[in-house]
């Protein structure tokens, strides 16, 4: 049987890794897929041939991605260009041409996945995207297929390695955010423009996809609450540790009260939780479901060959299903297209969580009572208080509160009133807390 011919778009970090993995492990992959798989055509504007093992086995390399998509001999397109355009146009053109698509493009899927999957459904082709979430960790397959017997209750994940590296360095070495960010850029963990990583946008793309396959709803990136880690200070990391917590940049999606929470933000996690001990650039996703309970998926969330591992696994799945009736293939978003529900994504104000609050207060009697009175009037119960000694000559002292769970709108009102007190200097630092039991 003739090998399946692949068209590869993009020869960057992941594209080069995909060529290397697919050629190095060609025999083993063919044994699993039932047929040989060959990258016969590739397109890239720029690439370094000396850095890509196996590139000599690709028949044709050009800078015209649309020519690859239109080539009648190519059966599967691997899109690794990234971004929104021309990736969207290329993927839709490939689908129009009746080709299956494998992509690692989380931004494309999160924003345009509904349109792309609808087009693929009409043409009877598959769009596979395992590599779009958590790199080499097979979390899409685990939730969509491995946990198909379960009702998913919630998913919480460290799904951006850059942010996790920065917070780990701040905790372990007592460094400031800006200092660690510069090092992350020098090491290649962060882009020259790190906005997507440090502001939570990258994680929100991934969480949008996880929420859809967990709860059987259309992709709704615009409703995902997103908050970055740029306001986290060294003192917050230190105080969290003293209280038995670690700060992690977490994406959480949870089904509750007829709606779904979908949020990305810094979060205090009890240090005894396994996910709180995921450090450096590693990723981890914790899934709580009704039948199996909690399951944890850990591994490399980015990188050349870890992400290529997921890309090639998707190619193998597509090859296995080439002759399968389209109606009997695994649905793109886990549920059959006509069974998706347009579940309400709850606004952040309606979400309930516990809180870490840090404020700088005048060092005089009665201030603590004023603050606790405001919290009490807002029906906010206090779990713990940590009051630090003032530095020599300082007029203000840090006070840290841990609260019990309360709706965000109640906390917003309380913080606004606390910040109006004459005894409070500056803004109140608020970090949400989750026990993840």
The residues assigned a catalytic role are 206
Q: How many CB atoms lie within 10 A of CB 31?
A: 10
Question: In angstroms, rounded to a whole number, what is the distance separating the alpha carbons of residues 81 and 132?
Answer: 12
- DSSP single-letter state for residue 389: P
CA 147 remoteness from chain centre? 19
Strands 344-345 and 293-300: unpaired
Question: In angstroms, rounded to a whole number, what is the distance separating the alpha carbons of residues 350 and 85?
Answer: 35
Helices 26-33 & 13-24, crossing angle to 10 degrees? 80
215 and 288 in contact (C-beta within 8 Å)?
no
The dihedral through the CA atoms of 397, 388, 244, 353 has a sign that is negative
Reported as type and span, the H/E element at residue 370 is helix 367-377
Q: Which conformational region is residue 10 in: left (phi greater than 0), alpha (psi within -120 to 50 degrees), or beta?
A: left
Reply yes or no: is the peptide bond before residue 151 cis, omega within 30 of 0. Answer: no
Question: In angstroms, rounded to a whole number, what is the distance separating the alpha carbons of residues 280 and 199?
Answer: 18
């Amino acid at each position: 049987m003739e090998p399946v011919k692949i068209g590869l778009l993009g020869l960057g970090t992941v594209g080069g890794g995909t060529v290397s993995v697919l050629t190095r492990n060609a025999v083993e992959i063919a044994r699993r897929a039932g047929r040989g798989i060959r990258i016969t055509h590739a397109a890239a504007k720029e690439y370094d041939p000396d850095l890509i093992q196996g590139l000599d086995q690709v028949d044709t390399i050009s800078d015209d991605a649309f020519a690859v998509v239109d080539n009648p001999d190519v059966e599967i397109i691997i899109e690794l260009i990234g971004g929104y355009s021309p990736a969207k146009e290329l993927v839709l053109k490939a689908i129009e041409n009746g080709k299956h698509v494998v992509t690692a493009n989380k931004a494309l899927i999160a924003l345009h996945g509904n349109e792309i999957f609808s087009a693929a459904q009409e043409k009877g082709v598959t769009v596979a995207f395992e590599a779009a979430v958590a790199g080499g960790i097979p979390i899409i397959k685990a939730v969509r297929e491995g946990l198909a017997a379960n009702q998913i209750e919630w998913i919480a994940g460290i799904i951006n390695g850059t942010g996790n590296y920065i917070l780990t360095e701040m905790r372990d070495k007592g460094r400031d955010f800006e200092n660690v960010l510069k090092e992350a850029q020098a090491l290649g963990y962060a882009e020259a423009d790190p906005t997507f990583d440090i502001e939570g946008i990258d994680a929100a793309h991934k969480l949008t996809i996880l929420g859809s396959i967990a709860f059987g709803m259309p992709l709704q990136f615009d409703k995902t609450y997103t908050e970055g880690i740029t306001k986290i200070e060294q003192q917050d990391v230190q105080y969290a540790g003293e209280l038995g917590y670690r700060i992690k940049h977490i994406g959480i999606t949870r089904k509750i009260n007829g709606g779904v929470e979908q949020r990305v933000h810094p979060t205090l996690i009890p240090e005894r939780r396994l996910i709180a001990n995921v450090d450096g650039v590693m990723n981890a996703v914790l899934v709580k479901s009704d039948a199996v309970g909690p399951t944890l998926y850990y591994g490399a969330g980015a990188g050349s060959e870890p992400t290529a591992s997921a890309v090639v696994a998707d190619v193998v799945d597509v090859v296995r299903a080439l002759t399968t009736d389209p109606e009997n293939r695994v649905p793109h978003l886990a549920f059959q297209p006509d069974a998706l529900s347009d579940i309400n994504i709850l606004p952040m104000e309606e979400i309930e969580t516990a809180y870490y609050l840090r404020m700088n207060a005048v060092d005089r009697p009665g201030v603590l009572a004023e603050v606790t009175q405001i919290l009490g009037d807002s029906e906010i119960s206090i779990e713990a208080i940590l009051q630090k000694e003032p530095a020599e000559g300082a007029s203000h002292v840090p006070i840290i509160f841990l609260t019990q769970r309360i709706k965000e709108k109640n906390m917003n009102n309380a913080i606004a009133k606390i910040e109006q007190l004459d005894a409070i200097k500056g803004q109140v630092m608020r970090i949400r807390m989750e026990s993840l039991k």
